[in-house]
Amino acid sequence: MNPYLEERIRELGFRITPQRQLILEAVAEAGEKARIEDIMERVQAKSSAISQATVYRTLEIFGAHNLIHVNVLDGQRVYEVAGENVHHHMICQSCWSDEKIPHKVVNEFVDNVQVKYGFLAQPHHLFLLGLCKHCQEEEDKKQISKEEEKRP
């Protein structure tokens, strides 16, 4: 298992168990935006003896301590192992493309909020929903043809 993670787990006072190692591996292998069913499937494949409750509990605990990022996408929880480079996502609600934004850009916003309100935002893994460049153009086209319908 990722030695960085192992260290963080110990630091936080949690124990390292085979189940937890395996679950974290499964989340890592399931890639970004892993849904519970993806994770469950991989865990079962590795060892069918692990109880579902343990998977849920592990994700919950590690999520609460930012060892795993938890986000909600399209109504479903999605998980990602927290790496060392902080980043965020720009997700298109039309084509579901997903681009990363480095933390630096988000940080300017964080600083701005800090200066204006004194609030220290700690966004570990933002999901910014919106429209990618391509889908914005598509939307514009739709808008134009809609207006043409009104006066032919």
Partner DNA sequence: GACTAACATGCGAATGTTTGCAATTGAGAA
Partner DNA sequence: TTCTCAATTGCAAACATTCGCATGTTAGTC
- Contact residues for its own copies, defined by CB under 8 A: 60, 63-64, 72, 75, 90, 92-93, 99, 101, 105-106, 108-109, 112-113, 116-123, 128-133, 136
The residues that bridge with 98 in the sheet, in sequence order, are 91
Residue 125 token pair: 């893994």
Tell the smallest beta-carbon distance from residue 9 to DNA (Å). 8
20 binds, among DNA, its own copies, none (CB under 5 to 8 A by kind): DNA
CA angle 46, 8, 108 (to 5 degrees): 110
36 near DNA, rule: CB under 7 A: yes
The phi-psi region of residue 118 (left if phi > 0; otherwise alpha if psi is between -120 and 50; otherwise beta) is left
45 near DNA, rule: CB under 7 A: no
Tell the smallest beta-carbon distance from residue 3 to DNA (Å). 13
What lies within 8 Å, CB to CB, of 97 at 6+ separation is 91, 132, 134
| C-beta of 40 vs 90, nearer to DNA | 40
| C-beta of 35 vs 46, nearer to its own copies | 35
CA distances from 126 to 11, 18, 89, 139, 148 (A): 25, 30, 6, 24, 38
| C-beta of 13 vs 118, nearer to DNA | 13
66 near DNA, rule: CB under 7 A: no
44 near DNA, rule: CB under 7 A: no
d(CA 71, CA 49): 27
50 binds, among DNA, its own copies, none (CB under 5 to 8 A by kind): DNA
Residues that bind DNA (CB under 7 A): 10, 13-20, 36-37, 49-54, 56-58, 60, 75, 77
